[in-house]
Amino acid sequence: MRFIRFLGSIIVVVGLVWGAKYLYFKPKFKVGVDAPDFNFTDLEGQELQLSDFKGQYVLIDFWGSWCGPCRQQNPQIRQLYDRYHQVAFKDATGFEVISIGIETNRAQWEQAIRRDELDWSNHFTDAERFQSPIARKYGVREIPTKYLVNPDGKIVAVNPDIEFIRTFFDRRMAS
């Protein structure tokens, strides 16, 4: 009987820990809400904001040079960018990626961008990692975290996998 109570207690504790972790890392925004606007300075020194990309699909990609899963996804994101960047969609003029570096070492981050051949210019980091204003605004507590935003500025997917994005875009390509 004591063993059963002990086992039950363990199950309850594990469930509470798992639930707390789930709630802590849960993305802040859901599909259908407006993506909060933010300002950033890209690698070329240009001041931009998310709203500058209205009329296009945008993948906001929170990643890090030190993050193994992020680096593994980078070639796939590059392929998405190469394939869809200048595509005319039925409801959009193209596709952009905004990469937000969760970093403390700018040199390593820039080296990772070059090595992974992330050819778009919309890269930003401010060396505050998860405390950066953009990461805090989006509630980012783990990476990779991604938001796909439609041409009207609404979130259409939270942490979508690459195949979802391909299928989503292929269905929206102009004929």
CATH C-level class of 30-172: alpha beta
Interacting residues of 48 by C-beta distance below 8 A, sequence separation 6+: 39, 40, 41, 42, 122
- Predicted local distance difference test score (pLDDT) of residue 30: 78
Point out the least confidently predicted range of 25-29, 93-97, 99-103, 114-118: 25-29
What are the CA-CA distances from residue 113 to residues 75, 93, 107, 161 (Å)? 11, 25, 10, 20
- Predicted local distance difference test score (pLDDT) of residue 16: 47
- Helix-then-strand count for the chain, H and E: 5, 7
**Between 6 and 135, residue with greater pLDDT:** 135
Q: What are the pLDDT digits (tens) for 158-168?
A: 999 999 999 99
Domain boundaries, the chain: 30-172
